Amino acid sequence: MSKAAVDTSPGGVLSRHYLLATLGMVALIGIAAFESLAVTTVMPTVSRQLNGEALYSLTFAAPLATSLVGMVFAGNWADRSGPRSVVISSTLMFAIGLLIVGTAPTMTVLLVGRLVQGFGSGALIVGLYVMVSELYPARLHPSVFAGFAAAWVVPGLVGPVIAGTVTERFGWHWVFLGAMVAAVPAFAMIAPSLRRLAPREAVVPWSAGRILWSGAAAAAVVALNLLSEFPVAVSVAVVVASVLVLAVALRPLLPARTLRAGAGVPTLVLLRGLVGAAFLGGDVYIPYLLSAHYGFSPAASGITLTVGSVSWALASWLVGRLGDRVTQLLGIRIGITLVVVGVVSAVVTPIWHVHPAVLIVGWTLTGFGMGFMYPRFSVLVLRWSGDDERGFNSSALTIADSAGAAVVLALTGAAFGLLGGAQDPGAFVACFGVALAVAVLALAVSGRAIPTGSTDR
């Protein structure tokens, strides 16, 4: 029996029937967005205070690794019994992770908190996606996902500046503790809607194999991000082994033919991973570059992230307004092209030490490109998924997102360390160059996102 919501209400996503659920879910996404931006803004300061520059990239990759496990577990759990238990449990784990990070006295404790937080956030995203499919009728799905993307607008406007200011005046710990407190009222808003979602009969079995494979993939990601801790000879063996494990482990976690860019859902999942990796691969190192070579304070270095997030939200809003006037394939290609242009600006900035305005403008275009295509991935994947595939395919989107970003962060982290770290502009050039190569690859395979003959072309 289909568990998709029956369209019994004529109202929109902000009608009385859906208002609290919409605001609560968007708020949770917004808190996750704030936390992500906050980490990028304050981590240069954290790494200096905790003597953790060697583990800089791992602080970003660690939650991405455990989010893989959280996504697979949550997708399986949601397909078995619905999203209610998934959303409740994952929100709690996300909050616990923030508490550990916010009280961390050492880099090791902070990494533990990031691991817990990553599992919770990965599971939460999948739970919210499935909740959308069961709570809202199909006609409202594009608006909800556009709202999720636009949830970056407020964190993008004030998040980096708030995080930088709090860090300068009170210490970075309070950035994470504040996000934890804010999650409480957000969850309270969705609680009534969660109670309305009846649990399913468990007709989908537990997939222990997929969960174990996700754990293997997570371990490979962590190993890749520890390359700087190994001798050169050992590093080569670690890279080979980790890549092989990832290639094998990800196959059962993604739709068939994803790694071969099969037409339709497989390529949509692959593209989500590639463009997310290209964006985060640049986003992580931009505040570091501005701080190390342009003298920006923690608050000021968040300016680039702010304008990128605002343009992301603006583009997401525009997608909803344009509707079918821009085909899905054209929208995806426009988005990827803008990402390529933005990453090129990041590459040339440290090469010639050009004015940081070039980077800020370029990253504004990158954010717009992401917002112009990101909601399309979720809409199309849900449209082309059966009732018993929504949890799997929703988790696959976020798995590809996290896995792609984690691999790119491993490559950039290794390059950053080998080329001299923050004091050498060449290290930043290498990091942005990796992101550019991934973005170009995404553009090359984008034509397979929409099957031939589809009206979305």
Whether residue 5 is predicted with pLDDT greater than 60 in this model: the reply is no
Residue 228 lies in a domain: yes
pLDDT for position 1: 33
Whether residue 2 is predicted with pLDDT greater than 60 in this model: the reply is no
Residue 455 lies in a domain: no
| pLDDT: which is higher, 160 or 188 | 188
Whether residue 166 is predicted with pLDDT greater than 50 in this model: the reply is yes
Residue 343 pLDDT class (50, 70, 90 cuts): very high
Residue 219 lies in a domain: yes
Please give the angle made by the CA atoms of 52, 57 and 58, to the nearest 5 degrees: 80
For 214-269, write each residue's pLDDT tens digit.
889 888 888 887 776 777 778 778 888 888 898 888 888 899 999 899 988 999 99
Q: Could you give the CA distance from residue 401 to residue 127 in angstroms, rounded to a whole number? A: 16
Report the predicted TM-score, pTM, of the whole model to 2 decimal places: 0.74
pLDDT for position 422: 81
| pLDDT: which is higher, 341 or 138 | 341
CB 372 within 8 A of CB 334: yes
For 287-305, write each residue's pLDDT tens digit.
889 988 998 887 787 777 7
pLDDT for position 7: 55
**Tokens in use for 389?**
């595939």
For 210-221, write each residue's pLDDT tens digit.
888 888 988 888
CB 286 within 8 A of CB 22: no
DSSP state of 52: -
Q: How far is CA 371 from the centre of its chain?
A: 13
Q: Token pair 């959303």 is at which residue? A: 87
Nearest to 383 by CA among 451, 315, 312: 451
Residue 84 lies in a domain: yes
Note the residue count of the chain. Answer: 457
Residue 14 lies in a domain: no
Sequential DSSP letters for 215-277: HHHHHHHHHHTTGGGS-HHHHHHHHHHHHHHHHHHHGGGS-TTTTTT-TTHHHHHHHHHHHHH
Q: Which CATH number fits the domain that encloses residue 211? A: 1.20.1250.20
Q: How far is CA 324 from the centre of its chain?
A: 26
- 365-397 burial string, b = 16+ CB within 10 Å, else e? bbbbbbbbbbbbbbbbbbebbeeebbbbbbbbb
Please state, rounded to an integer, the average pLDDT across all residues of the chain.
86
pLDDT for position 4: 52
Other C-beta atoms within 10 Å of 161: how many?
18
User: What integer is the mean pLDDT of 335-348?
Assistant: 96
Residues 6+ apart with CB under 8 A from 19: none
Whether residue 411 is predicted with pLDDT greater than 90 in this model: the reply is no
User: What integer is the mean pLDDT of 30-34?
Assistant: 85
| pLDDT: which is higher, 395 or 218 | 218
Whether residue 10 is predicted with pLDDT greater than 70 in this model: the reply is no
pLDDT for position 153: 66
Nearest to 58 by CA among 437, 397, 412: 412
Q: How many domains does one find in the chain?
A: 1
User: What integer is the mean pLDDT of 405-426?
Assistant: 84
Please give the angle made by the CA atoms of 253, 256 and 260, to the nearest 5 degrees: 105
CB 308 within 8 A of CB 283: yes
Residue 263: burial class (beta carbons within 10 Å; 0-12, 13-18, 19+): middle
Residues 6+ apart with CB under 8 A from 41: 159, 160, 163, 164, 167, 287, 298, 299, 301, 302, 305
* C-alpha atoms less than 13 angstroms from C-alpha of 7 in its C-beta half-sphere: 9
Mean pLDDT check: name the lowest of 38-42, 367-371, 385-389, 427-431. 385-389
For 362-379, write each residue's pLDDT tens digit.
999 999 999 999 889 988
Other C-beta atoms within 10 Å of 249: how many?
22
The SS3 call for residue 106 is: coil
For 35-82, write each residue's pLDDT tens digit.
877 788 888 888 888 887 777 778 888 888 888 888 889 988 888 888
User: What integer is the mean pLDDT of 130-156?
Assistant: 80
Percent of the residues in the chain that have a pLDDT greater than 70, as a whole number? 95
pLDDT for position 386: 77
Residue 117: burial class (beta carbons within 10 Å; 0-12, 13-18, 19+): buried
Nearest to 243 by CA among 119, 411, 392: 411
Whether residue 3 is predicted with pLDDT greater than 60 in this model: the reply is no
Instruction: Tell me the CA end-to-end span of the chain in Å, nearest whole number.
Output: 31
Judged by phi (left if over 0) then psi (alpha if -120 to 50, else beta), residue 108 lies in alpha
Residue 256: burial class (beta carbons within 10 Å; 0-12, 13-18, 19+): exposed
Q: Could you give the CA distance from residue 71 to residue 118 in angstroms, rounded to a whole number? A: 10
DSSP H or E stretch at residue 172: none
Q: In terms of residue numbers, what domain contains 357?
A: 19-448
| pLDDT: which is higher, 199 or 9 | 199
pLDDT for position 156: 67
Residue 9 lies in a domain: no
Percent of the residues in the chain that have a pLDDT greater than 90, as a whole number? 36
